[in-house]
Structure formats: structure tokens, C-alpha cells
Structure 1
Amino acid sequence: MKRNASAHWEGSLKEGKGTVSTESGVLSEQQYSFKTRFEDGNGTNPEELLGAAHAGCFSMALSMILGESDHVPDSIDTKASVTLTEADGGFEISAIHFDVTATIPGIDQAKFLEAANTAKMNCPVSKALKSDITMDIHLEN
């Protein structure tokens, strides 16, 4: 399975603007800019989108792990806080923190923590953040 998303950017960093879109159409030319990333502008930003993807991936992985031990959750709510910090003359995502609230009949805290830690380490988005990134480039002049 392969899913696609795209970004289009025009102009300089601070004055420019861009859009992001997904193959599914959930995002269709959603606006982003310097203001939406570093100030209080209207639109989205890469860190917010990464947080949503990671929270969704984690929640599904946790549901799977719990289900494998016959603890099907009634609900899992995950908030991902993505921290962008300035370091060495540039920016980096320095942390992602999950705040997880779940209703799971018949499970104790220790088993829930074990399942959550397994999901955190093994969901595909967590793994992607540790993977090699490749690219093809094409210059049009």
C-alpha cells in the first residue's frame, strides 16, 4: 500500500505561502505559511499534521495490541504535542508527547502501560521517524 500527499510552495520563507493536499482529498490545498507555523496564522503546519498522523497511528496500534490480549478498548483518545525547537542554526522536531486517555474494560494499569509503550515504539509513524529518507530531485529552469 502506498499513500500520497503533496505540498506546493511559492515565494520566500517569511512572505511565501503554500498548500498541502492528500490523495484521499481529506486535505485539498490546505493553506500553510510562516505565520501558521511560527505565529498565529490561519491554516495548518507540518508539525500539526505530523502530530495528527502520529496520534492516529498510535491509537490504532494500541487498539490492535490490546485486542490481541482480549482487551478491546471502548475508546482511545490520543493528543500528540509536537515540539519544534531551534538548534544549530536551524529547526528540529525535538519531542513528541502523547497524552492518552482510554476506556478499556478489565485491564490493569501495568498491562495498559505495557501495551501503550509497545504501540508507541512500533506504530508505523514512530518507525518512520527513525527511517532513512530518500528522494529524487528534478530542476526545471
Structure 2
Amino acid sequence: MKRNATAVWHGSLKEGFGQLSTQSTTLTNTQYSFKSRFEEGVGTNPEELIAAAHAGCFTMQLSAYISEAGYVIESIETQCEINLVESTIVTSHLTVHAKINAISNDSFQEFVTKASKSCPVSKLLNAAITSTATLI
């Protein structure tokens, strides 16, 4: 499987602007800029997109492990916080809230740890990946 995205940039770093588009067209000429990345501007930024990718990938991997073990998932919600320090992503923290029928907290935590280490985006990131998970 191969997927792609395209970034187009116009101008200097601080005054310039760009657009991001994805193969699926979910993003089509989506605005990004210095302000949307480092201040409070309109648009997205690479770190936000990495957070979305990590949250989505992890959640799918977690659901696979839990389902394979025979549990019924009502919902899993994952928030990912990317921490950028001096031009380096240093952490990716996953906060998970899940409703899963008949699962123990110990089993749930084991699946969370396994998924946080094994989802493809986790494997890609060279950052400390942590998680906090609550079974509801």
C-alpha cells in the first residue's frame, strides 16, 4: 500500500503560506503557514497532522487487538499531543478513553501498551511515546 500527500509553499518561512492536499482529497489545498504552526493562525500544521495520524493509527491497532481477544468495543477515543521542542518532536502522548464490554482494566492496559508500541505510526516516530488510558 502506498499513500501520498502534496505540500506547496509560496514565499519566505514567516511571511509565506502553503497548501496541503492528500491523495484521498480529504485535504484539498488546506491552508498552512508559519502562524498556523507556531502562533495562532488559521489552518493546520505538520505537527497537528502527525497527531491526527498517530491517534488514528493507534486507535485502529488497539481496536484490532481488543476485537481479536473477543471483546465488544462500544467506543475508543484517543487524543494525541505532539510536543515540538527546538525543531524536534520529542514526545507523542496518547490519552485514551474507551468503553469496552467485560474487559478488565489490566487487560485493557496491556492492549494499550502493545498498540502504542506496534502501530505503524508509533514505529515511525523517533520520540518518546507515552499514554494514559481510562476504561469507562
Same fold (TM over 0.5): yes
**Structure 1 residue runs without a partner (length 5+):** 131-141
Distance 2:84 2:123 in 1: 19
What code does the residue aligned with 2:14 have? K
CA RMSD across the alignment: 0.8
Aligned to 1:41: 41
Distance 2:72 2:120 in 1: 21
Task: Provide Cα deviations, 1:90-113, integer angstroms capped at 9, x if missing partner.
Answer: x11111111100000011111000
Aligned to 2:109: 113
* Matched position secondary structure for 1:40: coil
Matched residue count: 126
Distance 1:127 1:81 in 2: 17
Kindly indicate whether residue 123 of structure 2 is the aligned counterpart of residue 123 of structure 1.
Answer: no
**Structure 2 residue runs without a partner (length 5+):** 127-136
Contact 1:63–1:72 (8 Å) recurs in 2: no
* Matched position secondary structure for 1:73: strand
Percent of residue pairs identical: 52
Task: Provide Cα deviations, 1:10-65, integer angstroms capped at 9, x if missing partner.
Answer: 11110111111100000001000000000000000000000001100000000000
Superposition deviation, residue 129 in structure 1? 1.8
Where does 1:24-63 land on structure 2 (aligned, <5 Å)?
24-63=24-63
What code does the residue aligned with 2:27 have? L
Q: Which has the larger radius of gyration?
A: 1
| TM-score computed with the length of structure 2 as normaliser | 0.90
Distance 1:73 1:108 in 2: 13
Distance 1:99 1:126 in 2: 14
Distance 1:35 1:41 in 2: 4
Q: Which has the higher strand share?
A: 2
* Matched position secondary structure for 2:13: coil
Kindly indicate whether residue 92 of structure 2 is the aligned counterpart of residue 96 of structure 1.
Answer: yes
| TM-score computed with the length of structure 1 as normaliser | 0.87
What code does the residue aligned with 2:58 have? F
Distance 2:111 2:19 in 1: 37
